[in-house]
Structure 1
Amino acid sequence: MLYLFIWWLLLLLLSFAALPVTLRVLRFLPDRGYAFAKPFALLLWVYPFWLLTSLGFLQNDFGVLAFLLVALAAASWGLLRGRGERSAWAWLRARCLAFGYFRAFNPEINATEKPMEFMFLNSILQSQTFPPHDAWLSGFAISYYYLGYVIVAALTKLGNIPSAYAFNLGLVMTFALAAVGAFGLVYNLARYAQKDERNGKGSRAPYVFGLAAAMFLLVIGNLEGAFEVGYNAGLGSRDFYAALNLHGLEEVEPSGTFAPQDGWWWWRASRVLNDQNPSGGGHVEVIDEFPFFSFLLGDLHPHVLALPFGLLALACALNLTLRPTMLIASKDFLSLLRTQTLTPEILPNMLIVGALGMLNTWDIVTYGILIAAAFAIRQYRAHGRASRAMLATAMAYFILLYVGAVILFAPFYASFSSQARGIAPNIFNRTPLAQYLIMFGLFIFIVASFAAVLFFQQPNRKRALGEIAKFMLPLLAVPLVIAGLGVVVLLNSSELQNMLAGVLNMSPQDTPFGVVRAFAGTFVASPGTFILLTLLIASVAALGRLNLTNSEPENAARRNAVTFALLLALAALILTFGVEFLYIRDTFETRMNTVFKLYYQAWLLFSVAAAFGVFYIWQTTRGAGKYVWFSALGGLTFLSLLYPFFALPSRANAFKPDARAGTPTLDGWVWVRGAFPDDYAAIEWARSNIPSDAVIVEAAGREYSFDNRVAVATGLQSVLGWGGHELQWRGNYDQAGPRERDLEQLYRTRDVAAARALLGKYNVSYVIVGGIEREKYQLNQSLIDKFSKLGALVFEQNSIRIYRVDASH
């Protein structure tokens, strides 16, 4: 509890230090950005720390972090003008403490990618300069988007908090900041929408629907949880559930109660989509994670750490949208560029967009485009039409935004490598409509209803239908364009022809048209999602355009808020539409990661747009139909809440203390003391006695395992950790492959000279020999004893030993 208090106190100090500059930058929001003070403060504090440490001007230590905090406060408070509007933050803080309570019953840094994330955190804490070293590949820097771990490490170092606690505190902080950010966005949207209403200022609606946004983002699950409950209660046949293809749900023995009982049953909700292997018909893994699942699982992954900063980017976009505009008569491009684009106000947006690239690189595109789109909307209102000058300034802003973002984070990109190999068409898999609605059903219901209400409020519905038709035509042409481009590419690539010929079991010369037949066949077999998204995207885009071009002074504030909400809904729909046709190629050569990352962004965007949509429907509709609709919404929300209702106690061991695991606690490493006491003792010795710049050697780890436990827990550089993940991070196995072979030779050889040469090759100072090494390399006593000829035994407890390599031996 002490460390939780220290962490919260540090966040309060940071937000207080940066509050004036936050209120200045986000001054056009009704609360002037108060909801976003903490994530913005973290960026303003950590960015100069990271940059100057990367450039060699500073070092990664407590004094630097403390000095930069004081400097931020001094610079920020010189800008103070006025104050922000506080809202229901106390309730949200209580909610975040509740999440901390949940984490205390399952804090273990174990399984999935948690060891990897703990390794990143400890690597950064051990590194004196940046980029931080990769503890799983000695001599190399981390090649991953790691800014979120720098933020957590900075707070860890400033508060002198053990990293095993910091891991879970980072999760609690991220949940808290995301909850406040989602609340703040919809609160500001709803408050601004009521600007022109006589009784709007005293309304509680912005608070209510702000809380709904936080719930949509972080508390509800997808509808898979409802099917889990129904299946286990015996509602429906196994054939029905088999037809839904929910990651093998129908193969589980039902519990006979509403509560699922099989192992990690809650995992299936993150695997709703099921692609098929075109050559064998087998299952192809697709990840469709959502925020509640992420926090339930407890992985401190970049897509989770980036959530509050994605919301901060949306706040910047909203701030641009709500900025008062005056009609611009000038047509001189250079004058407009100087007065509208080249202003100091673009700098915070560059910082936030650039930070997103280093937090979770997938986010830099989506949120940067949304900020640029918000600027374009503001320019449209200022010019009164889509003039050449308006389009030119909007494009200039877009280019400058990204150029500035990349320049600000140039040291990161200079050392970053990726597994991305370009863009590929999704030929063989369409998302079945049932699976899409299980994933996003609640949001689709709200967005479709929001669009329907706006349509029936149009003074000229015939014109609205015409606008929808205009947007539908290019969307309907997308499959034809993709197919045509695919044929052109295949006709000019014999390599691709040969690869796909094997998949389709046909001759290479027949491949182009065979691919087209297969591509068309997927639409015949599963057209529902394409049709639904085409209709919704066209409707939302058309209604947004009509709303934007409406120049009537009445209800102008409401229209501006609606335009922004429609922009977010449109972006979410396009993201889920796009993965039906294209994906980013990586080492898996499937759309798994593309669906994962873009669906995650879509969930956030849907959450905000849907919460505002519910607010709008509540405010503008009347009659019995309104209450029928809200009854249906209540039913869908109830079904979405079944997942967290049953998953929370399942994941937290029914909130019962576990003496062996040491729960309740936020110490994520204490479980090792009970499960692997010898390894725990060796790790504690290494933490206290091995220099931070030393290189150790332990067994090359199996993926998602406890292996490499010393490097994970201490951040000390090891020769090789999870080789498969190094492949994913770097896009090749050039370094990991030889090291894997060398480690096996090092442990297995009886030739002392050969072992000495391998230790020298990687500059190894300490050798770990424990149960993991004994099992992996089948070590007998003579193989172990050779290390005593290479140095001194400095630690021994039962089955684990640590040798210090002595160059003189």
Structure 2
Amino acid sequence: MSRKSTVAGIAMILMVLATIPLLGSDNVPFLKWWIMILIIGIGFYPVTASLFAAYTDRGWLFSKVFGVAVSGFLVFALTVCKVTQFVSLTCIGVTVVCFLVCWIYGFKKVKVEMPDVDLIFQEEALFLLFFLLWTYLAGFHPEAHGTEKFMDYGFMKAMMRSTELPAKDIWYGTEGINYYYGGQYYAVFLTKLSFTDVKQTYNLMRTLVAAFAFVLPFSVCYQMLCARILQRRKKKKLSPVIGGLLSGAAVSLAGNMHYVVYGCIGKWLGWESAADYWFPDSTRYIGYNPVVENDRTIHEFPSYSFVLGDLHAHVVNVMFVLFVIGGVYAYVRRVQEEKAGEGKWDVKTILLQPHLILLAFFIGIFHWTNYWDFVIYFVVVCCGALYGALYRYRCRAKQVVSTVLAQAVEVFAIGTMIALPFTISFDTMVSGVALAQRHSMLYQLAILWGLPVCLVLLFLAAVFLTWKRIEAPAGAEADHSEKRREDAFSREMTERAADDAKQKALAEERKALKFRDFWARAPLSDIFAGILGVCAIGLVVIPEIVYVRDIYEEYYARSNTMFKLTYQAFILFGIVMGYILVRFLTWKKEHIIKAFGAVGLVCLLWTCGYFGTAVYSWFGNVLDPSEYRGLDATAYLENVFPEDASAIRWLDETVEGQPVVLEANGDSYSDYERVSAMTGLPTVLGWYVHEWLWRGDTLDLNTRSADVEQIYTSSDPDLVEELLQKYQVSYIFVGSKEREKYTALNEAVLQQVGEIVYQDEQTGTYILQIVREDG
């Protein structure tokens, strides 16, 4: 073992020991999860190594995400198809079988060079560091309460209770979940795989994703800069590490320039609009400051999500979209390393690209984890396929077009098939696409996106203006035949200069040759950075042109579209900025480019101050370990719902399966539905606007709401029994919210139709069980 590996190993041992004073008893589930993810990474490493052969670590960090995605999906598909049940034994069995298949394949088929072991140890230490950091922070504000947390935690609890998928919708008790629940599913899959408790793993999942959100961008940028250095025939320097750290920070820790302008400069200058800056302000700027009543928008980013603690669809999917980005880069590296003759056009070669098949698999699971990412990364994959075709076929139009079309159809078809276990029972929530009637103010777009957009545009200009002077790279990235062909054209043009018509034709052909020469000789890492940057710019521009219609049309028409598109733009920009800044700062001769790099670096590091501000605002004094409260997401119950807490815990611990528990329904983002959310037990009707979005049937929602009120307030026992039978209610919860909402609560009738099985004498909260003759 080398010195570097030894140092990284000692660092990991020290971090493991540090979990005892930092996490207390929570160190047990934390270490279970770290070891589980480590084993999954080892189990799937042979296949990952063959696909990420161009990476010096052979895709070590990506093997973890790959293993979680594949084994989790197989369990999901088998459960949906009723081949097996969603239990711990199934999760373990499927994962072990996957390990065996991967290692058998590795011994028989995989032939790759040894990975950089030092880098693997260092990356694992970096992963453990950020997993521990975020887990420690989560323990200062662990409660699954506020924003979307009731929904996220409730979905997890519902799937923990259920052996079938989809589980019952906690807020629409007689039906299954009709939402993109893949993210919460993967959290539950890992929970069942590790024999841990949702109370802790709700927070462990979000801290795991946050750790991946640093190390995966680090890996991609590191590999891009390493390839660039090797292409210039130089030894590795510190620049790949610096670039990787910048990319990791830009994706997972940084805010946007709104924090710099309003949270820092505006406060220093005494601006009234910046006086009360709070960290969520950077995600609610367009439409809020100044107020535009009919154009409220959202532009969140990962560090805000990780601090806030939501485990929503777009958050969990961060680790999967980062895998896709890394996979696209691995694919285009593979194309550049093809041997002579591999560029021949044939259907078998085009459609049996293992990288694209794997990327299509991930595109498919995006149907189920976060559908917006299906559309976004389908385009990103197609852009990678386009570059691969341009390079492989030297820009010959017929081969390029046919290849890209065939591969796009293949990716879409495979993705659609992978999604079938989910889509077969899912009713779409999309109501069409419309032209944007309102647009963002230019200065607001400049504040939010000016830094990354300027860096990308400056980088593209610098690359296009200087590519001719780039020394032809050695090995896979060189194509000396293109240079010889260009010289031949020069001689031929000189010999035939007298013929004007032919001279014009030759000039046009020379232009085409230069275009082909650019794609053949320009550094791959530069081109890939350009692809990601252009895609990110497109994601920022699209909400200014069109938006996807939903129920929030009147005041928040563009809100969800801007939210989901720019969230991914932020991730793409983050990866690219680390690479661009290092390229600028190490640029030869052009001092103005280095100056741009220095300014950009200062701005990026300044935006990272958002992390510290947000942590202090949300978690408090994290430098004092004595204020650590633990990872239990339900520990807040006794403080927030003192009248109901013991009854909620009784239900959670006593009742098995998913029988329907009636509780008062209420508005979205309110404290109503605390019973269903904390237990995973379905109720007749939950958060109204959420179910309106998921179901689109307000008539049925209103009927359910009226029926719930009738059950709690009616003086007719027969009617109450009829409604209880209609919704298959097994328990009735009578607590603080029920008494608050139904002032005409008829407890005599309720106790007539049900038997009290739990009662808190001090608070008056009780639970009725409905006993039917049919059992």
Query: How many residue pairs are counted as aligned between the two chains?
Result: 691
Distance across 2 between alignment mates of 1:639 and 1:147: 35
- Residue 730 of structure 1 is matched in structure 2 by 695
1:84 partner amino acid: P
Residue 288 of structure 1, CA deviation: 0.5
- Residue 227 of structure 1 is matched in structure 2 by 261
- Residue 195 of structure 1 is matched in structure 2 by 230
**CA-to-aligned-CA distance 1:323-348 (integer Å, 9 cap, x gap):** 123566988xxx61122214555431
Whether the aligned pair in 2 keeps the contact of 1:657 and 1:664 (CA below 8 Å) is: no
Distance across 2 between alignment mates of 1:281 and 1:651: 27
2:772 is the counterpart of 1:804: no
1:629 partner amino acid: F
2:93 is the counterpart of 1:130: no
Distance across 1 between alignment mates of 2:594 and 2:400: 43
Residue 199 of structure 1, CA deviation: 2.5
1:453 partner amino acid: A
Whether the aligned pair in 1 keeps the contact of 2:587 and 2:593 (CA below 8 Å) is: no
Distance across 2 between alignment mates of 1:658 and 1:209: 32
- Residue 252 of structure 2 is matched in structure 1 by 218
1:285 partner amino acid: R
Distance across 1 between alignment mates of 2:284 and 2:253: 18
- Residue 443 of structure 2 is matched in structure 1 by 434
Residue 156 of structure 1, CA deviation: 0.9
- Residue 177 of structure 2 is matched in structure 1 by 142
- Structure 1 residues 144 and 386: alpha-carbon distance in aligned structure 2, compared to 1, 3 A threshold: farther
**CA-to-aligned-CA distance 1:531-560 (integer Å, 9 cap, x gap):** xxxxxxxxxxxxxx999732597xx4x611
Q: Which runs of 5+ in 1 are unaligned?
A: 242-248, 462-544
- Residue 84 of structure 1 is matched in structure 2 by 115
- Residue 704 of structure 1 is matched in structure 2 by 669
- Residue 747 of structure 1 is matched in structure 2 by 712
Residue 384 of structure 1, CA deviation: 1.1
- Structure 1 residues 547 and 236: alpha-carbon distance in aligned structure 2, compared to 1, 3 A threshold: farther
2:717 is the counterpart of 1:769: no
- Structure 1 residues 162 and 701: alpha-carbon distance in aligned structure 2, compared to 1, 3 A threshold: farther
2:126 is the counterpart of 1:100: no
Whether the aligned pair in 2 keeps the contact of 1:225 and 1:640 (CA below 8 Å) is: yes
- Structure 1 residues 316 and 546: alpha-carbon distance in aligned structure 2, compared to 1, 3 A threshold: farther
Which of 422, 427, 450 is residue 417 of structure 1 equivalent to?
Answer: 427
- Residue 483 of structure 2 is matched in structure 1 by none
- 3-state SS of paired residue (2:371): coil
Which of 378, 383, 388 is residue 388 of structure 2 equivalent to?
Answer: 378
Distance across 2 between alignment mates of 1:24 and 1:647: 40
Does 121-130 or 640-649 show the bigger shift? 640-649
- 3-state SS of paired residue (1:415): coil
Residue 582 of structure 1, CA deviation: 0.5
- Structure 1 residues 316 and 75: alpha-carbon distance in aligned structure 2, compared to 1, 3 A threshold: same
2:25 is the counterpart of 1:6: no
Residue 627 of structure 1, CA deviation: 4.9
2:549 is the counterpart of 1:582: no
- 3-state SS of paired residue (1:79): helix
Residue 598 of structure 1, CA deviation: 0.4
- Structure 1 residues 694 and 605: alpha-carbon distance in aligned structure 2, compared to 1, 3 A threshold: same
- 3-state SS of paired residue (1:209): helix
- 3-state SS of paired residue (1:802): strand
- Structure 1 residues 218 and 632: alpha-carbon distance in aligned structure 2, compared to 1, 3 A threshold: same
**CA-to-aligned-CA distance 1:268-289 (integer Å, 9 cap, x gap):** 1111211899xx9635320010
TM-score, reference length from structure 1: 0.81
Residue 157 of structure 1, CA deviation: 1.3
Q: Which runs of 5+ in 2 are unaligned?
A: 1-26, 471-511
2:230 partner amino acid: K
- Structure 1 residues 219 and 196: alpha-carbon distance in aligned structure 2, compared to 1, 3 A threshold: same
- Residue 651 of structure 1 is matched in structure 2 by 618
- Residue 281 of structure 2 is matched in structure 1 by 268
Distance across 1 between alignment mates of 2:658 and 2:227: 54
Distance across 2 between alignment mates of 1:628 and 1:345: 38
Distance across 2 between alignment mates of 1:433 and 1:631: 25
TM-score, reference length from structure 2: 0.85
Distance across 2 between alignment mates of 1:623 and 1:120: 55
- 3-state SS of paired residue (2:608): helix
**CA-to-aligned-CA distance 1:495-527 (integer Å, 9 cap, x gap):** xxxxxxxxxxxxxxxxxxxxxxxxxxxxxxxxx
- Residue 330 of structure 2 is matched in structure 1 by 319
Distance across 1 between alignment mates of 2:93 and 2:766: 41
1:674 partner amino acid: N
2:333 is the counterpart of 1:307: no
- 3-state SS of paired residue (1:794): strand
1:18-417 aligned at under 5 Å gives the runs: 18-80=44-106, 81=110, 82=112, 83-86=114-117, 87=119, 88-89=122-123, 90-200=125-235, 202-230=236-264, 233-238=267-272, 241=273, 249=274, 254=275, 260=277, 265-274=278-287, 282-323=293-334, 324-326=337-339, 336-417=346-427
- Structure 1 residues 230 and 7: alpha-carbon distance in aligned structure 2, compared to 1, 3 A threshold: closer
- Residue 649 of structure 2 is matched in structure 1 by 684
1:7 partner amino acid: W
Residue 441 of structure 1, CA deviation: 2.9
2:749 is the counterpart of 1:786: yes
2:443 is the counterpart of 1:443: no
- Structure 1 residues 638 and 560: alpha-carbon distance in aligned structure 2, compared to 1, 3 A threshold: closer
Residue 367 of structure 1, CA deviation: 1.0
1:109 partner amino acid: A
Whether the aligned pair in 1 keeps the contact of 2:735 and 2:764 (CA below 8 Å) is: yes
2:531 is the counterpart of 1:567: yes
Residue 58 of structure 1, CA deviation: 0.6
- Structure 1 residues 434 and 152: alpha-carbon distance in aligned structure 2, compared to 1, 3 A threshold: same
Whether the aligned pair in 2 keeps the contact of 1:143 and 1:730 (CA below 8 Å) is: yes
- Residue 601 of structure 1 is matched in structure 2 by 568
Whether the aligned pair in 2 keeps the contact of 1:103 and 1:168 (CA below 8 Å) is: yes
2:762 is the counterpart of 1:795: no
- Residue 583 of structure 2 is matched in structure 1 by 616
Residue 28 of structure 1, CA deviation: 3.0
- 3-state SS of paired residue (2:105): coil
- 3-state SS of paired residue (1:284): coil
**CA-to-aligned-CA distance 1:772-800 (integer Å, 9 cap, x gap):** 000011145xx112222112100011221
Whether the aligned pair in 1 keeps the contact of 2:389 and 2:400 (CA below 8 Å) is: yes
**CA-to-aligned-CA distance 1:164-190 (integer Å, 9 cap, x gap):** 211100101101112111111111111
- Residue 509 of structure 2 is matched in structure 1 by none
Distance across 2 between alignment mates of 1:623 and 1:694: 70
Distance across 1 between alignment mates of 2:251 and 2:641: 37
Distance across 2 between alignment mates of 1:340 and 1:725: 43
Does 679-688 or 337-346 show the bigger shift? 337-346
Does 579-588 or 706-715 show the bigger shift? 706-715
- 3-state SS of paired residue (2:523): helix
Residue 371 of structure 1, CA deviation: 1.5
- Structure 1 residues 103 and 762: alpha-carbon distance in aligned structure 2, compared to 1, 3 A threshold: same
Distance across 2 between alignment mates of 1:30 and 1:460: 28
Distance across 2 between alignment mates of 1:113 and 1:125: 19
Distance across 2 between alignment mates of 1:626 and 1:450: 9
- Structure 1 residues 345 and 460: alpha-carbon distance in aligned structure 2, compared to 1, 3 A threshold: closer
Whether the aligned pair in 2 keeps the contact of 1:328 and 1:382 (CA below 8 Å) is: no
- Structure 1 residues 785 and 653: alpha-carbon distance in aligned structure 2, compared to 1, 3 A threshold: farther
Whether the aligned pair in 1 keeps the contact of 2:141 and 2:619 (CA below 8 Å) is: yes
- 3-state SS of paired residue (1:304): helix
Whether the aligned pair in 1 keeps the contact of 2:453 and 2:537 (CA below 8 Å) is: no
Whether the aligned pair in 2 keeps the contact of 1:321 and 1:378 (CA below 8 Å) is: yes
Whether the aligned pair in 2 keeps the contact of 1:548 and 1:563 (CA below 8 Å) is: no
**CA-to-aligned-CA distance 1:566-589 (integer Å, 9 cap, x gap):** 010110111111111101111112
Distance across 2 between alignment mates of 1:172 and 1:283: 35
Residue 634 of structure 1, CA deviation: 3.6
